[in-house]
Amino acid sequence: MTSEAEEFRHVALRSREAAYLLRRLTRKDKDAALLVLADALVAHTDTITKANAIDVTAAREAGTSEAIVDRLTLTAARITAIADALREVTGLPDPVGEVVRGYTLPNGLQVRQIRVPLGVVGMIYEARPNVTVDAAGLCLKSGNAALLRGSSSAHHSNSALVDVMRTALATTGITPDAIQLVPGQTHASVDFLMKARGLVDVLIPRGGESLIRNVVENSTVPVIETGVGNCHVYIDKDADIEMAVRILLNSKAQRVSVCNAAETVLVHRDIADAFLPRALDALADAGVTVHADERFVLKATGSSASVVPVTDDDWGAEYYSLDIAAGIVDSLDDAIAHIRRWSSGHTEAIVSNSQSAIREFTAAIDSAAIMVNASTRFTDGGEFGFGAEIGISTQKLHARGPMALPELTTTTYVVTGDGHVRG
């Protein structure tokens, strides 16, 4: 075994021991620790932002897109928001010990299915140091040890955040090994984490399509798959135009570097003439480039918006930029068919005053979240009232949609008898 592999195994074993200790903590213990972590992060804002500045400077020098740089950047305001998210988690119910179902069998045996921690939760993620804190906090609250592998582009930021949290955690009497970074910055360290079956209980990737595919296809540790966000907004023929413009603009331009930003807008032909002039002006004011099909291009003639022909790559793109694919459809069924072909299964939105259209859309669309007369930007653990989220799952087993505390648990059956034996 190489020295790198030995170092990883040592860290993973410490995580495993920490998980054993964490599963027995009370809610009071965990909530108190989360408040200590939140205060420590704010108190060490200067240390964290200085470390983050090293990563941001390196990213810009490497020609990284501004959307990714935005994800990477930590400001004092963002650190305060991250700390506030930890505080919000303390107000959420502790899922550990919750009875999912309970009943008594005819023979008198009492059966209870209760929530218990998963154990060691591994995370592989890209350029988002806020994930370091979100994952650590949610894992702590749910009684899990967090073993974190952020991207090398955020190495200084993640190291500073983890150092602050581990030091703070030690003052609470909880083992600092509840929060650990995977040692090393090479691809080998990622492979060690993906192959750590028996040491790591579940692996959650967060990032671009290539990262997620690599983890899903090559990990021997069970994976909860988070997905890319090729999100759609469908403007139905019975939509309120003012509402539709507002929702489209917020979905696309409120923040482009996130997975719940809209990447495609589909407009019913019967509302196109009334909707498009106002929508295009709004998109132009926001600096959005529209990648449009032929009918959309014709309708956009004379508009101040930047409109270019759409390609198949555009229909499948998660832009992370001020770009949106756009098309005109003949019917609700055509919109659904388009979404079925191109969606990543993250979030789709319909804007309509027709209850029958809404029912048909929500019944037909197979995505983790469906927004009705609301922005796609609401697909978020915080917006759903979960506090911080650990990711948005687009798979169908165990967890789907924004993942928070309950999704970081599994269950154990506790069966209580009175001397029962099976005949």
Please report, for the chain, the start and end positions of each structural domain, with discontinuous segments joined by +: 3-225+395-416, 231-378
Query: Would you call 421 helix, strand, or coil by DSSP?
Result: coil
Rounded-to-integer distance, Cα 288 and Cα 281, Å: 10
* CB distance 117 to 144 below 8 Å: yes
Half-sphere exposure of 392 (CA within 13 A, CB side): 27
- In terms of Cα–Cα distance, which of 71, 227, 217, 47 is closest to 150? 71
CATH for 231-378, among 1.10.3210.10, 3.40.50.300, 3.10.270.10, 3.40.309.10?
3.40.309.10
- Residue 182 has a pLDDT of 97
At residue 117, what are phi and psi to the nearest 5 degrees? -60, 155
Give, in order, the Cα–Cα distances in Å from 224 to each of 19, 49, 123, 391.
19, 31, 10, 9
Compute CA distances 165 → 107, 138, 169, whole Å.
50, 13, 6
The CATH class that applies to domain 3-225+395-416 reads alpha beta
Q: Taking Cα atoms as reference points, which of 393, 383, 376, 390 lies closest to residue 339?
A: 376
The position carrying tokens 């296809």 is 217
pLDDT (tens digit, 0 to 9) for every residue of the chain, 423 residues total?
Answer: 679 999 999 999 999 999 999 999 999 999 999 999 999 999 999 999 999 999 999 999 999 988 789 889 999 999 999 999 899 999 999 999 999 999 999 999 999 999 999 999 999 998 889 999 999 999 999 999 999 999 999 999 999 999 999 999 999 999 999 999 999 988 999 999 999 999 999 999 988 888 888 999 999 999 998 878 899 999 999 999 999 999 999 999 999 888 899 999 999 999 999 999 999 999 999 999 999 999 999 988 888 899 999 999 999 999 989 999 999 999 999 999 999 999 999 999 999 999 999 999 999 999 999 999 999 999 998 888 876 678 888 888 888 888 889 999 999 999 999 999 998
Residue 58 DSSP class: H
Q: How far apart are CA 175 and CA 173, in angstroms?
A: 6
The residues facing 233 across adjacent strands are 265, 349
For the entire predicted model, the pTM comes to: 0.84
* AA letter at 156: H
b/e 134-167 (16+ beta carbons within 10 angstroms → b): bbbbbbbbbbbbbbbbbbbbbbbbbbbbbbbbbe
Distance CA 151, CA 28 (A): 33
